[in-house]
Structure 1
Amino acid sequence: MQQQISVITLGIADLARSRRFYVEGFGWKPVFENPEIVFYQMNGLMLGTWLGKALAEDMQREAMRSGGFALAHNVPSREAVQPLLDRLAQFGGKMLRPGDAPPHGGFRGYIADPDDHAWEIAWNPAWPISPEGYVSWGT
């Protein structure tokens, strides 16, 4: 399996405040945004800033304060999501949410590592994965 992190998602308290910090402070340009999340294309991965409550709901966890986060590992097909979640559970992971299709598209599930760090295992048809493992926004 490729060693890669596709997305780092930071749980935040206020989307406008966070967007101002990243857009005006760093000068970064969002590649996608809606009322709950903003994505930035980074060098070979995505950074997401997502309202903590919405991120916690997506992971099916109790309310998350700002400062919460989820790491993501994207896979090349929808069919690869659940088998990887199952494999990780066999090796000490705790299933948080089995694979399913979120309203915004794609397919994803969540698993916690043995130290309770959340990982999203996801397939997103709008985010191709290069042979080197780089994800990019809709190219």
Structure 2
Amino acid sequence: MEPRVTLITLGVADLPRAVRFYRDGLGLPTNYKDGDPIAFFDTLGTKFSVFPLAELAHDISPETKPCGGGFRGITLAHNVHAKEEVAAVLAEAQRAGAIIVKPAQDAFWGGHSGYFTDPDGHYWEVAWNPLSPLGEDGFMTLEP
């Protein structure tokens, strides 16, 4: 397998609500039209999508049962260029309907971060990491 993630899909309870959150609230670009069965968003390097949870579970297998809320053992991260941007992005997410679960603060690993959950309870970290800065192209550089 080549080392590449091409698409991340989140199962959501209410597709139009999720589209409003990510498109209108956070400003992620999409070609979604009302009534489409799935919404794809353009992000740097990886596509991001939201799809009804029950249909996503069924796509895996008819026996797969969707799980409800709570921490599901996965987080998504949005890294920023500067420490001050962490609080600004968290505030933007909150205005869009997110719940802030950890406000912006210095992190044990030497950076600055905070967490929010989207309307379906998916956890997002917003982070500034001076040891893994974003390049001009927007990609994170992992220092050895």
| Normalised TM-score (structure 2) | 0.50
Question: Which residue of 2 is the match for residue 84 of structure 1?
Answer: 89
1:138 aligns with 2:143: yes
State which of 100, 103, 109 in structure 2 corresponds to 1:98: 103
CA contact (8 A) 1:5 1:72 kept: no
1:107 aligns with 2:112: yes
Structure 2: 5+ residue stretches without partners: 1-26, 29-42, 47-69
Q: How does 1:41-120 map to 2 (within 5 A)?
A: 68-120=73-125
How far apart, CA to CA, are the structure 2 residues paired with 1:4 and 1:70?
Answer: 18
Q: Percent identity?
A: 33
Moved over 3 A (4+): 1-6
1:128 aligns with 2:129: no
Q: How many residues align?
A: 81
Structure 1: 5+ residue stretches without partners: 7-61
Q: Between Structure 1 and Structure 2, whose CA radius of gyration is higher?
A: 2
How far apart, CA to CA, are the structure 1 residues paired with 2:44 and 2:100?
Answer: 20
How far apart, CA to CA, are the structure 2 residues paired with 1:4 and 1:96?
Answer: 25
- Higher relative contact order, chain-length normalized (CA < 8 Å, sep 6+): 1
Higher strand share: 1
CA contact (8 A) 1:106 1:125 kept: yes
| Normalised TM-score (structure 1) | 0.52
Question: Which residue of 2 is the match for residue 52 of structure 1?
Answer: none
